[in-house]
């Protein structure tokens, strides 16, 4: 559009430009308000959100005040830290009054048997058929997914697979190098591809996935639709102790607030982990006891029938 000038030769904004600027301003205010409200509803201090998202406290303060013109990349990180999709922060519909979001909230809060009935009603293909005899263990690192999955697989005589090992095989490098080279977005893309290959390859298996897979909506939807999911959980102190016992001191090294961050991650992902069809709490349980618990749960719920 050509520039318009007044009689003095000074440029003036066109009506469409003014409308565009107003729309951008409204978007910035809307995003800031939603970030602030979501953070406060979850009881998350700005400092903790900053550490989880990698966005400075000062920038978050500007954002929440409607004065920060945040990039898409940074906003995505904030959305993930708040356990929300980025569309939830930028959409025009009020997330607190939207009927679709209200239904989604009711679904997350419903008991497992109610969620199962809802999915059976809405799914175009019976989910029991899609899941077949596949079991997926979800949850944070340190809950015991890999150890328990391997032991249960050996006991039941079915394959056990770690999705991260599939990603490493595809990428030709360790996961930490995948993250460093491709970034979080690249890792998530490889994760989705690896999950698709696993589904196409195995009709019967136990799969252990990384704790953050639940934050990628489409990948998590695929996992829930093709596996009987079990949330393997533990108390935060046991999560941290088990990671250290594995020889990884990074969670605590130079980071006195690591436990606060771990509790925040557990809290922010709880509604997502709750979508699993079953739970296995390993808190205070020995390895043998937890293995027996997992085998009993698989048998009682008929996950391999």
Domain extent listing, the chain: 4-97, 113-300
- Check residue 268 and give its pLDDT: 83
- Check residue 2 and give its pLDDT: 46
Contacts of 215 (CB under 8 A, 6+ apart): 80, 83, 269, 272
Residue ranges of the chain with per-residue pLDDT less than 70: 1-16, 92-102, 104-105, 108-109, 112-113, 116, 119-120, 122-130, 246-256
- Whole-model pTM: value is 0.60
CATH superfamily of the 4-97 domain: lambda repressor-like DNA-binding domains (1.10.260.40)
- Check residue 296 and give its pLDDT: 96
Asked whether this chain's domains 4-97 and 113-300 adopt the same fold, the reply is no
Distance CA 34, CA 264 (A): 19
Cβ proximity of 151 and 159 under 8 Å: no
Architecture of the domain spanning 113-300: 3-Layer(aba) Sandwich (3.40)
- Check residue 152 and give its pLDDT: 97
**E-strand stretches of the chain:** 4-5, 11-12, 133-138, 160-162, 204-208, 228-233, 278-281
């Amino acid at each position: 559009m050509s520039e318009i000038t007044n009689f003095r030769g000074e440029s003036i904004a066109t009506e469409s430009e003014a409308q565009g600027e107003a729309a951008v301003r409204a978007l910035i205010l809307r995003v800031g308000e939603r970030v602030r409200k979501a953070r406060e509803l979850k009881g998350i201090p700005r400092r903790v959100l900053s550490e989880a998202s990698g966005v400075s406290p000062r920038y978050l303060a500007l954002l929440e005040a409607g004065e920060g013109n945040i990039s898409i990349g940074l906003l995505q990180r904030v959305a993930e830290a708040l356990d929300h999709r980025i569309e939830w922060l930028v959409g025009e519909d009020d997330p607190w009054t939207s009927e679709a979001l209200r239904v989604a909230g009711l679904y997350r809060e419903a008991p497992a048997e109610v969620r199962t009935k809802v999915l059976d009603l809405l799914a175009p293909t019976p989910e029991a058929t899609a899941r077949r005899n596949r079991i997926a263990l979800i949850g944070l690192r340190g809950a015991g997914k890999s150890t328990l999955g391997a032991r249960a697989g050996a006991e039941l005589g079915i394959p056990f697979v770690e999705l991260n090992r599939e990603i490493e095989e595809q990428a030709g490098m360790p996961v930490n190098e995948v993250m460093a080279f491709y970034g979080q977005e690249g890792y998530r893309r490889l994760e989705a591809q690896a999950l698709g290959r696993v589904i196409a390859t195995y009709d019967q298996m136990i799969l252990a996935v990384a704790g953050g897979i639940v934050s990628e909506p489409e990948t998590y939807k695929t996992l829930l639709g093709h596996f009987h999911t079990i949330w393997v959980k533990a108390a935060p102190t046991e999560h941290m102790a088990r990671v250290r016992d594995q020889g990884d001191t990074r969670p605590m090294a130079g980071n006195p607030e690591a436990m606060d961050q771990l509790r925040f991650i557990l809290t922010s992902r709880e509604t997502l982990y709750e979508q699993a069809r079953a739970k296995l709490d390993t808190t205070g349980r020995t390895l043998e006891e937890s293995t027996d618990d997992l085998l009993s749960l698989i048998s009682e719920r008929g996950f391999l029938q």
